[in-house]
């Protein structure tokens, strides 16, 4: 549906239907916040068991949100949860999700796999559909290199946990039109996020700044300057962060951390992003953080 014109020539569309491809940690959160805001959502993943897992986690997190909104009113909570949950259809077939106003990709962080998906989406989706990637460290221009609709493409970078973190980074690709950019900003607001804008640069705003912070914390610990526990306490009580750098690394995943640093180092050659032997060793040993039961701390 066409609602209003912004400064550019192309009309801006109101997003009513959203498809999220990839039903993991981020994709399930994105599906949840869109459904909570009254939008119809299709969540696509390759494996049915991952869709089951996503649905369970969405139901739990909706209940958390509902309890916060409606306190002790159990029937209102139940109504909110069911209403939002029922707006999310799930499928293992991408074809079931292409008829949407906005398609957000939240699959594995691999350039070639993302490119293949976008090329397919570009062919299958209707003319007006906007395509977006939630990549945390890959260049969005590289991901979208093969698509034709470069004016209807950009980055929508969410933060973990999606239902709680209030920020959305809107990343401008080289061909993005004014109306697509405005639609993305409006959509972010419609799901309750505060949007900031960044060019397609390594790490965008938040990861570009979190990278050197987290890398220096690791080096500090590696050098034996302070214990990881004390560094964490220091940044929580002295820096005002909700988690210390080691707790955050375990939460985000050490593999994700390593990959993000690697990409930023390759693209910027800034020595602050240089590989960190301790991080590489832990990733090689499979100590990836909360998801494997052990990272800098143990979780079993």
Dist CA 187 CA 81 (whole Å): 21
Among ligand CAA, ligand NAD, none, the one that 300 touches (CB under a kind-dependent 5 to 8 A) is none
What is the separation of C-alpha 172 from the centre of its chain, rounded to a whole number of angstroms?
Answer: 16
Whether 207 is catalytic is: yes
117 with 21: CB under 8 angstroms?
yes
Dist CA 40 CA 113 (whole Å): 26
Among ligand CAA, ligand NAD, none, the one that 45 touches (CB under a kind-dependent 5 to 8 A) is ligand NAD
Instruction: Name the token pair of 253.
Output: 């995943």
Whether 86 is catalytic is: no
Selected range binding ligand CAA among 78-86, 94-102, 163-171, 175-183, rule: CB under 6 A: 163-171
Selected range binding ligand CAA among 110-118, 190-198, 228-236, 240-248, rule: CB under 6 A: 240-248
Whether 169 is catalytic is: yes
**Min CB(76)–ligand NAD separation in Å:** 30
Among ligand CAA, ligand NAD, none, the one that 65 touches (CB under a kind-dependent 5 to 8 A) is ligand CAA
Give 123: exposed, middle or buried? Use CB within 10 Å, 0-12, 13-18, 19+: exposed
Residue sitting closest to ligand NAD (CB):
24
- Cβ-Cβ contacts under 8 Å for 83 (sequence gap 6 or more): none
Element (DSSP H or E) covering residue 123:
helix 111-124
* Count of beta carbons in the 10 Å neighbourhood of residue 1: 8
- Among 15, 44, 256, 265, the residue binding ligand CAA under the rule CB under 6 A is 256
Q: Does 64 bind ligand CAA (CB under 6 A)?
A: yes
Give 187: exposed, middle or buried? Use CB within 10 Å, 0-12, 13-18, 19+: buried
Q: Which is nearer to ligand NAD, 180 or 252 (CB)?
A: 252
**Residues with active-site annotation:** 136, 157, 169, 207
Task: Kindly list the residues in this chain that would bind ligand CAA in the complex (CB under 6 A).
Answer: 61, 64-65, 68, 136, 159-161, 163-165, 207, 242-243, 248, 252, 256
């Amino acid at each position: 549906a066409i609602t209003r014109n912004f400064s550019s020539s192309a009309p801006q569309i109101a997003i009513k239907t959203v498809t999220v491809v990839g039903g993991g940690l981020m994709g399930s959160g994105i599906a949840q916040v869109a459904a909570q805001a009254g939008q119809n959502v299709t969540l696509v993943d390759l494996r049915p068991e991952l869709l089951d897992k996503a649905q369970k986690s969405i139901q739990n997190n909706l209940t958390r949100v509902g309890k916060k909104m409606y306190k002790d009113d159990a029937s209102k909570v139940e109504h909110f949860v069911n209403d939002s949950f029922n707006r999310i259809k799930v499928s293992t077939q991408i074809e079931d999700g292409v008829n949407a106003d906005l398609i957000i990709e939240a699959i594995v962080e691999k350039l070639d796999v993302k490119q293949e998906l976008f090329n397919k989406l570009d062919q299958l989706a209707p003319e007006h559909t906007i395509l977006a990637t939630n990549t945390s460290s890959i260049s969005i221009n590289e991901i979208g290199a093969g698509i034709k609709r470069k004016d209807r493409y950009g980055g929508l970078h969410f933060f973990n946990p999606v239902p709680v973190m209030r920020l959305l980074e809107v990343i401008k690709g080289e061909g993005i039109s004014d109306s697509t950019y405005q639609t993305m900003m409006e959509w972010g607001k419609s799901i309750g996020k505060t949007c900031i804008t960044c060019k397609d640069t390594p790490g965008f705003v938040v990861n570009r700044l979190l990278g050197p912070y987290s890398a220096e914390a690791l080096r500090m610990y590696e050098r034996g300057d302070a214990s990881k526990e004390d560094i964490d306490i220091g940044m929580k009580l002295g820096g005002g962060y909700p988690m210390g750098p080691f707790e955050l690394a375990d939460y985000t995943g050490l593999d994700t951390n390593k990959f993000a640093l690697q990409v930023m180092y390759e693209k910027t050659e800034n020595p602050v992003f240089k590989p960190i032997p301790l991080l590489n060793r832990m990733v090689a040993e499979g100590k990836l953080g909360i998801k494997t039961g052990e990272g800098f701390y143990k979780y079993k």
